[in-house]
Structure 1
């Protein structure tokens, strides 16, 4: 179940930067932009840009960016869950994962993540999907922000909650490996009950933990 990707955009001023928040961005356009040197949480900016171009080319792939002119300062990815993760085991066409969110230190802490999510979820097509995000403390920039794991998790919950994502329990081993890790979920208003039940069956694979 795939849908047309509806483009949306807004603008915001952040520390002297006039940012355009937009997406989903087409792969060709994304390839023509520059990536800020601060975007290196996962790999060097040039390599991360290539990875995002590949995601943008996927039928379900959605990349939302914050840019100043042709310089990308932040991005969000939405795509099907990684085939190696349990969330793909049910082979659900209506389950997407909010993957990476990365914001350059130049504009961090100013609501850019929340603005990008607002643009992403302004697309009515996402009401047909369950969208998850898996939050792992080892992906968080604790050093750069000066926050501890609980403070950072509180920030992430607030940002995700701005688009209706809520905490849900799971027995997934990676998430259960540290109490600060969590699963957050947004169930679109048109998602059928059978999909919700199928999702619940992969949230809990050890029944004694219900």
Structure 2
């Protein structure tokens, strides 16, 4: 562990110890293997199914890729915290001002072991977190309702409980994809050092009005 920003912990689970590691580099990720649990199920497809996708995110400036790893170096969980894509409205607030929790996923067999909470905490232990606006988007068509045994509203509530302790609150927006279904979710966290003008600009931007 050479990066001073990188954090590690070990979570005990019935399947054995799971290492949680933040700020994973592309070179590190190349040495790991994706667990077979990530793939296409009858009614669900994992958000990412290729290690190369995580490598690509990890190579971006400021990105924080958090992994949950078995002793055999299998990836059994991943979280990605990175800047929005260039064509998204959130870039209009200015370079580096917004970062998105793009993914949090844990292997089905380990979802009751609190690994998701560990990964969210590690993702948001970012040195610039108080100088930015962090956000997450929950699209109901990406949720593993079949594997979780929840309906869409229950899953939505679970996500709110996952992010609330870290200062995220539910926010309104007219972003078209989010508005497609009422159960979709948009949450944000405004850092303590974000200036008042940017806070106001973000409020307008949520409704498609450029700062």
TM-score, normalising length: structure 2: 0.88
Alignment of 1:52-71 (within 5 A): 52-69=54-71, 70-71=73-74
Show CA shifts across 1:125-157 (max 9, x none): 211111010111001001111110000001111
Describe the SS at the equivalent of 1:16: coil
Match of 1:75 in 2: 78
Pick one of 196, 200, 204 that aligns with 2:199. 196
The size of the alignment, in residue pairs, is: 201
Distance 1:158 1:13 in 2: 22
Instruction: Report the more deviating stretch, 168-177 or 87-96.
Output: 87-96
1:14-53, aligned counterparts within 5 Å? 14-40=13-39, 41-43=46-48, 45=49, 48-53=50-55
The match for 1:105 is 108
Secondary structure of 1:183's counterpart equals strand
Quote how far apart the aligned CAs of 1:60 are. Answer: 2.0
Residue of 157, 161, 173 corresponding to 2:176: 173
4+ residue runs over 6 A deviation: none
Structure 1: where are the runs of 5+ without partners?
A: none
Task: Please tell me whether the aligned partners of residues 130 and 187 of structure 1 are also in contact (alpha carbons under 8 angstroms).
Answer: yes
Task: State how far apart, in whole Å, the 1-side matches of 2:75 and 2:54 are.
Answer: 12
Q: TM-score, normalised by structure 1?
A: 0.89
**Cα shift at 1:24:** 0.8
Gaps (5+ residues) in structure 2? 40-45
Task: Give distance in 2, aligned partners of 1:49 and 1:199.
Answer: 33
What is the root-mean-square deviation in Å for CA atoms of aligned residues?
A: 1.8
Give the superposition deviation at 1:5.
7.4
Verify the 8 A CA contact 1:133 1:183 in the aligned structure 2.
Answer: yes
Cα distance in 1, alignment partners of residues 112 and 159 from structure 2: 12
